[in-house]
Amino acid sequence: MSDASRTLAGIMLLSVVTIEFGGYFMTKIVRGHVPMTDFQKAFARAGHAHAGVLVTLGLVCQLLADAAGVDGVLGWVGRWGVPLAAILMSGGFFASSAGRGATGPNRFIAILWFGAASLAAGVIALGIGLLTA
């Protein structure tokens, strides 16, 4: 495994602890211990789910990039795009639903779209890298 992939994989594995904490917080929401609107509950679920799925996909991307020897710009974007999307997309869901009694997203919804762009760039770069390897 390359140094870049090993470092990113280590960071992503350590981030799973924060996702676990989010899961604990979700149990408090579902049990009604944290007052939230239906909109906020939906965005909390989406943020938590995106974090877990994208960290897992990010780990797979590290292995794929190394297995195919993807390097240069494609390798960099392919290795970093998905993990960055995990942060931005989940953060976008949480930040855009913050505030007492929120019933719709605030201006921080833009973070979610930056995350979507990062995800697209990462998987496209890695896909092209794999196809041209």
Global confidence as pTM: 0.91
HSE of 124, CA atoms in CB hemisphere, 13 A: 6
The structure tokens listed for 83 are 């993990």
Q: Domain range holding 102?
A: 3-30+38-132
CA distance 104 to 38: 10
Residue 60: φ, ψ to 5°: -65, -40
CATH of the domain at 75: 1.20.120
pLDDT in tens, 5-54: 999 999 999 999 999 999 999 999 989 999 999 999 999 999 999 999 99
In the chain, the number of structural domains is 1
pLDDT, tens digit, 9 for 90 and up, residues 77-97: 999 999 999 999 999 999 999
